[in-house]
Amino acid sequence: METAGKKARRRRRTKIEVEKDIWDALERLIRKKNIHNITIVELAQEARVEPIVLYNRFKNLDELIEKYVRQYDYWLKDVAEINWNAEPKSEFKKMLTNFTKGLYESEIMQRMLVWELHNDSEVNRETAQMREMQSVQLFEHFNKQLQNGGSGFNAIIAVLVAGIYYLVLHRKISTFVFIDFDTEAGRQLLIDAVEEIVDFLIFPKDATVSHENPQSIRDVAQNMLDLGVEKEIIARSTGLTDREINKLKRQR
């Protein structure tokens, strides 16, 4: 019989439980500090394991973090939810809106991005390349159905996504062009701006776009509005969205 003051022996954790504790500990540390400042010893203490346990599972801290990063697809995490049969321009805007909201709401994603930019490693290069490969189907889908009257379609995506990255990550440092993107109003302004850029620059593939005058479709839609043509017919004829047509109505 155990003596009265003797502590009960701690239950031995399973391998699955140990691994979960490691990931949970890493997430807690990431929320507290920059990823590149985390050490193996610190992580081991937070997860209540010996450092050797971590070294038995991972070659180094970079490999451990790489496996954790793969749980967070902070590029286009909603790719799997794309409705491939939906109207492409609306779906494209929805994807960018969800991406913006997801980045705002996930502190982990934000810290992952800062770590990736700070740490020029083989792990990060491989992860970035993998992200590119996973997006091939997405780009091919929208490239087949959407176009731009000037710059390449992929370049437009690159500028939009990079701008979203920067404005979300920079928002706690200061305003940007006198807009406080760390407020709800600033966040909505960013989402609205992204949608307006898509409205202005991106068109369905079967729409006629003049390279010299990318607003020609809007001119046609405006003329149809002036003639009293129904909005649904204008949308089918020009490829413009309800939002775009409503904006033309307000400008009349």
What pTM did the predictor assign? 0.69
Report how far Cα 65 is from the mean position of its chain's Cα atoms.
19
Query: Which structure tokens are listed for 41?
Result: 């010893």
Rounded percentage of the chain residues whose pLDDT exceeds 70: 84
Q: Do 180 and 186 touch, CB atoms closer than 8 A? A: yes
Q: What distance in Å separates the CA atoms of residue 164 and residue 100, rounded to the nearest whole number? A: 7
User: Tell me: the pLDDT tens digits for 67-118?
Assistant: 787 766 555 555 557 788 888 888 899 889 988 998 898 888 888 888 788 8
- Report the range of poorest mean pLDDT among 53-67, 199-213, 237-251: 199-213
Please, what's the b/e burial string for 205-230 (b: 16 or more CB within 10 A of its CB; e: otherwise)? eebebeeeeeebbbebbbebbeeeee
Q: Do 238 and 217 touch, CB atoms closer than 8 A? A: yes
User: Tell me: the pLDDT tens digits for 168-224?
Assistant: 999 999 999 999 999 999 999 999 999 989 888 887 776 655 544 444 577 777 777
What integer pLDDT is reported at residue 211 of this predicted model?
A: 47
Phi, psi of 202 (to 5 degrees): -110, 135
Phi, psi of 5 (to 5 degrees): -90, 0
What integer pLDDT is reported at residue 204 of this predicted model?
A: 77
Q: What is the CA radius of gyration of the chain?
A: 25
| pLDDT confidence bin for 61, thresholds 50/70/90 | confident
Q: Of 95, 88, 241, 82, whose CA–CA distance to 160 is shortest?
A: 95
